[in-house]
Amino acid sequence: MMALFSSASRTHRIETSIEIDAAPARVWAILAGFADYPRWNPFIRAIDGTLEVGRTLDVTMEPPGKREMRFHPVVLAVEPERELRWKGKLLIPGLFDGEHWFRLRHAAHGRVAFEQGEHFTGMLVPRFKPSLDGATRAGFIAMNEALKRQAEGADERRKPVSAMR
């Protein structure tokens, strides 16, 4: 029972990444194109709002095997082709908060290293940790893979391997 009250047990972090064979501008356009999320994104089903620091978004997500959830995070960072970050909370600050990020980093051969993660804090983190490591992590990975397919599938600069030799 003592572990419930230690500060270390009230934090948890999920980090995922994938390499995408597309220009950062292409990946950012898809990531920031909220209107298209229902068409390609299996995890974050919808986002409404203005992509501007300090603004509140209306986010609908559906982790694999779980029911749909809505929350209203505040945008913390918008750096086109680099980072999108927001922070949300469950009911009141300190109960269950999450700072979510999407980062784009340049990788070799014009590729993008796409990173998605979240740092969770609050009294309810120990209670939700199994779901975070299960369905939530699986949702991040599913979104990363879908973003890769979306960006690479319509990336006009891709050439057949034989043309690159």
Task: Give the tens place of pLDDT for each residue, 40-88.
Answer: 999 999 999 999 999 999 999 999 999 999 999 999 999 999 999 999 9
Place of tokens 């009141």: 92
User: Distance between the two ends of the chain, CA-based, in angstroms?
Assistant: 62
Place of tokens 């960006």: 151
Which neighbouring-strand residues pair with 84?
78, 102
- Map out the domains of the chain as residue ranges: 14-155
Determine the topology of domain 14-155 in CATH. Alpha-D-Glucose-1,6-Bisphosphate; Chain A, domain 4 (3.30.530)
Rounded Cα gap, residues 75 and 51, in angstroms: 7
Question: pLDDT for 138-157, tens place per residue?
Answer: 999 999 999 999 999 954 44
Phi–psi pair at 105, nearest 5 degrees: -125, 145
Rounded Cα gap, residues 122 and 67, in angstroms: 22
**Can you read off the two tokens belonging to residue 129?**
């940790």
Instruction: Give the pLDDT of residue 154.
Output: 53
User: Which letter does DSSP use for residue 165 in this model?
Assistant: -
Instruction: Give the pLDDT of residue 162.
Output: 36
Instruction: Give the pLDDT of residue 48.
Output: 97
Residue 161's pLDDT band (boundaries 50, 70, 90)? Answer: very low
pLDDT for residue 15 is more than 60: yes
How far, in whole angstroms, is CA 129 from its chain's centroid?
18
What's this model's pTM, rounded to 2 decimal places?
Answer: 0.86
Which neighbouring-strand residues pair with 47?
59
Question: pLDDT for 81-129, tens place per residue?
Answer: 999 999 999 988 899 999 999 999 999 888 999 999 999 999 999 999 9
